[in-house]
Chain A
Amino acid sequence: MSRARWIAVGLLIALFVLVLFAGAFAPAPYAKQFRNDTDHRPSEQFPLGTDELGRDRLSRLLYGMRISLLLAPAAALISTALAALIGGAGAYMGGAWDRATGMFIDLFLSLPWLFLLLTLRALLPLDIPAVTSVVVTFALLGILGWAASARIVAASVRSIRTSEFLLQARAAGCKPSRLLLRHVLPNVKPILLAQFWISVPLFILTEANLGMLGLGVTEPLPSWGNLLRELENYTALRHSPWLWVPLLSLVMVVSLFQFALGAEERA
């Protein structure tokens, strides 16, 4: 492994430890409102300042990162697995199966998900605790977010299915299960990994957008998504550059994942 990769892995581990034990590092409880110190500038007491309700921004960032770093990859894992299963299986079987799954994927992509999510939220009980709401939100994202990835996976499997090396393997008498496990999957793996890593920040941002419609991480729980909502206030960004920290930390984490992945996986 390269030095950069080692550094990336080390930093990611440190970050995970930091957010897993956020309680030990956070200067204040994430929900505590210091109402006389709203929109406070960074200070010794509040290293990243306070938000509009006087809550310590660093504490909320640490807890928010914990929620997003644990649940967004989980949702990405669900969606990538579904994409591999539906897109990959259909394309591998070919013929009518391939056409049917292609149509199913197109149909799924054309559905107005925003409105369906709103309807779904309206049907959910109101009196669910904030933590349940978070899990439900990310689970929904994982279950509904597979279609775009499935199309890419299907295209890749389709080209592998018609490739010469697979033809030779088949001619050499390889069983279908061996063909799938030894020849197809290793070749689709970089695509699946790429889709997984693309989905993680995508789900974090989707959660932020859903929060504006009442379907996200609910108050007082923080999430990376609802911390990014502070970036809506463009004039405040000029005067309060520390508001960029959640976005910069998101870029940093995604970049670290890319480095940690290694060139061969990313290729």
Chain B
Amino acid sequence: MKASGHRVIGPSGEVSGPTLLALLIVIPLALALGGCTHRSADNSGELRVTIKTDPKTLNPLMAEEDASDRIRYLTGGVLIRVNRKQQENQGELAENWNVDEGGRRITFNLRAGVKFSDGSDFSADDVVATVKAALDPSLHSPKGDPLRAGGKADVRALDRNRVVITFEHPIAGIERLFDEIAISPARMAGKADSSVVLGAFSVAEQRAGEYVLLKRNPYYWKKDSAGHQLPYLNAIRMYVLSNRDTELIRFRQGDIHLIDSLPPDLYEQLHSDDPGAARDLGPSIESEQLWFNEVAKAPIPAYKKAWFRSRNFRRAISSAINRADLARVAFRGHATPSVGLLSPANKFWFDKNLRPIAYDTNAALELLKQDGFSKIGDTLKDRGGNPVSFSLITNAGNKQRERMGSLIQQDLQQIGITVNFVPLDFPSIAERIMKTYDYDACMLGLTNVDLDPNGQVNVWMSSADLHQWNPQQKTPETEWEAQIDKYLRAQAATLNRPERKADFDKVQEIVADEDPMLYLVDKNALVAVSPKVKNADPVVLTPQTYWNAEYLSLEK
């Protein structure tokens, strides 16, 4: 998308002839239009938000990183939308749908009379072309990856308003995957640029390093309860701004209307000056974890591997960490001690039977004693006489993690363990945890982008690359990892939601019992909302403040 410098005034503001008469007509007209433009700039209905980087792509099928994905969300019309508030699927371009043949087939009944933002008609052919493009292995669409897990697929239009997709293998929770597939015109499928869309806004202008401007889609199909055409806003300007301090300054100046995922320190600053604008939405689905290196071939001493592979050792460390202090001190109270691998913010899938992990140094020492550890003076030693000491790496520059590292360092000192806390640059961390395995313990955060457990298969299957403590196992190295694999497969093989829930509850319970990853805190969703924005109803899921962008408007 190229920049267009004439859009503000509009075609009628351009001087087409040199004659005095024309000037006499055009100048007052231009002034009048300019006046209108200025008035509408005051009440322009242009919402201003930020993205941290330039979008890498405007092709909705290729969106992967945060900026591209936010633009996809605002511009893309989808068949099914996961409602960010209720966390339930709801029909969008598909009025209804039906999943049958054991989860191998999904049939969509499409909404009639829908048009793209250029005025062209939407039909089943557009859906077929888009889904085929997403499934095309040569495109490498990250949005198509989960669909390709169903094997060979047959995508066909039954008529103008009905599409059926049949997969080789069943895909559990298949409906939610269509929340990510933005339907493009058939002629642009696979190479769309978000300028011709079915969503509430389309990309009108992009200036690298400055902003992306989204304009209202005049043909958007949705209307409000009073029958008014949506969206209310004329435009959304997404400034490219990576510095969070600057973002807050501009918010205070009224230059930016909404901020997602505020860091706790900035939230506190805003809250002290303008309590109405700062909102703590409670636990989000983002958590912070710590894990030990259990890789057999890791270049660390054998006695350390034995510690890290011991369930008692991991549970003892877990008990000796004061999670309440992590939440209170490191996150200024804007986090909640984790209970398990899912946050309670994941309403349906969170296992409510899990109990909070108690902070108890005596219990920790008791567990360690069972493994032959003993505390001599201020130092804990294993049965071989080795003092218990390990390094803990995290990414440098993340204030909350750096604080957590210092707190954990002091917590574990209480039971005689020395922690060498080493913040490193991220590429060094990735190198150590993914390639060389030259580390003892690592603390990072995982962002769950999907509420469904299938979104976590890439972490919990023993063969997975992101099975961080011991990745890419050919066969499960422990009995409990084999159990997790079994339950993950079982939940993926059934369409029955309660059955899937029961299977994933088992996974959560095994993880809580074995502690391969020590879940520390669930971060609260902290946002800033300008009082000028009407109908704002922030939620914990991304995009937190403008998930309902079509209903947002600005106070005049």
Contact = CB atoms under 8 A, between A and B. Distances in A.
B420 A128 contact: yes
B269 A212 contact: no
Interface in A218-232: 218-220
A53 B390 contact: no
Interface in A197-247: 212-214, 218-220, 233-236
A7 interface: no
Contacts of B329: 33, 35, 38, 52-54
Interface of B: 245, 265, 269, 325, 328-329, 389-391, 393, 396-397, 402-403, 405-407, 409-410, 420-425, 428, 431, 438-440
Given A33-B407, A33-B410, A212 B396 contact: yes
A218 B406 contact: no
B406 A121 contact: no
A112 interface: no
A207 to B, nearest CB: 14
Q: Which 10 A-B pairs have the closest CB atoms?
A: A126-B391, A214-B396, A122-B428, A214-B423, A214-B424, A127-B391, A219-B406, A219-B421, A235-B269, A126-B422
A100 interface: no
Given A126-B440, A220-B409, A212 B421 contact: no
Nearest to A115: B425
A130 interface: yes
Contacts of B424: 121-122, 214
A118 interface: yes
A127 B418 CA distance: 10
A112 B284 CA distance: 40
Contacts of A130: 420
Contacts of B425: 118, 122, 213-214
A256 interface: no
B422 A122 contact: no
A122 B424 CA distance: 8
Contacts of A214: 396, 422-425, 428
Nearest to B410: A33
A256 B211 CA distance: 49
B439 A126 contact: yes
Contacts of B421: 218-219
Contacts of A219: 402, 405-406, 409, 421
Interface string A36-60: 0010000000000000111000000
Contacts of B440: 126-127
15 contacts: A35-B325, A35-B328, A53-B329, A54-B329, A126-B393, A126-B439, A127-B440, A128-B420, A212-B397, A214-B422, A214-B428, A218-B422, A219-B405, A220-B409, A234-B245
B265 A233 contact: yes
Contacts of B423: 214
Interface in A100-134: 118, 121-122, 126-130
Contacts of B328: 35
Contacts, number: 66
Given A118-B425, A214-B396, A127 B409 contact: no
A209 to B, nearest CB: 11
Interface of A: 31, 33, 35, 38, 52-54, 118, 121-122, 126-130, 212-214, 218-220, 233-236
B396 A213 contact: yes
Nearest to A232: B245
A19 B32 CA distance: 71
Contacts of B390: 127
Given A126-B393, A127-B389, A235-B269, 18 more contacts: A33-B407, A33-B410, A35-B329, A38-B329, A53-B329, A53-B406, A118-B425, A121-B424, A122-B425, A126-B420, A126-B422, A126-B439, A126-B440, A130-B420, A214-B396, A214-B423, A214-B425, A220-B410
A33 B404 CA distance: 12
A60 B409 CA distance: 17
A121 B391 CA distance: 14
Nearest to B393: A126
A236 B393 CA distance: 28
A235 B329 CA distance: 19
Nearest to B390: A127
A4 B425 CA distance: 46
Contacts of A121: 424, 428
A69 to B, nearest CB: 24
B21 to A, nearest CB: 57
Contacts of A234: 245
Nearest to A54: B329
Contacts of A118: 425, 428
A234 B409 CA distance: 28
Given A52-B403, A118-B428, A129 B420 contact: yes
B308 to A, nearest CB: 14
Contacts of B402: 219
A53 B421 CA distance: 15
A235 B325 CA distance: 25
Contacts of A31: 410
B298 to A, nearest CB: 12
B251 to A, nearest CB: 13
Contacts of A218: 420-422
Contacts of B245: 234
Nearest to B245: A234
Contact of A127 (B265, B403, B406, B420): B420
Nearest to A126: B391
Contact of A220 (B391, B406, B431): B406
Nearest to B411: A33
Contacts of A53: 329, 403, 406-407
A193 B406 CA distance: 39
A220 B410 CA distance: 9
A228 B274 CA distance: 28
Contacts of B389: 127
A235 B420 CA distance: 32
Contacts of B422: 126, 214, 218
Given A35-B325, A213-B396, A122 B431 contact: yes
Contacts of B403: 52-53
A33 B74 CA distance: 45
A220 B409 CA distance: 8
B181 to A, nearest CB: 40
A132 to B, nearest CB: 10
A232 B393 CA distance: 23
B140 to A, nearest CB: 30
Contacts of B428: 118, 121-122, 214
Nearest to B402: A219
A33 B391 CA distance: 20
Nearest to A125: B391
A126 B440 CA distance: 9
A151 B438 CA distance: 40
Nearest to B324: A35
Contacts of A235: 269
A118 B425 CA distance: 8
B66 to A, nearest CB: 23
B331 to A, nearest CB: 11
Contacts of A54: 329
A118 B396 CA distance: 11
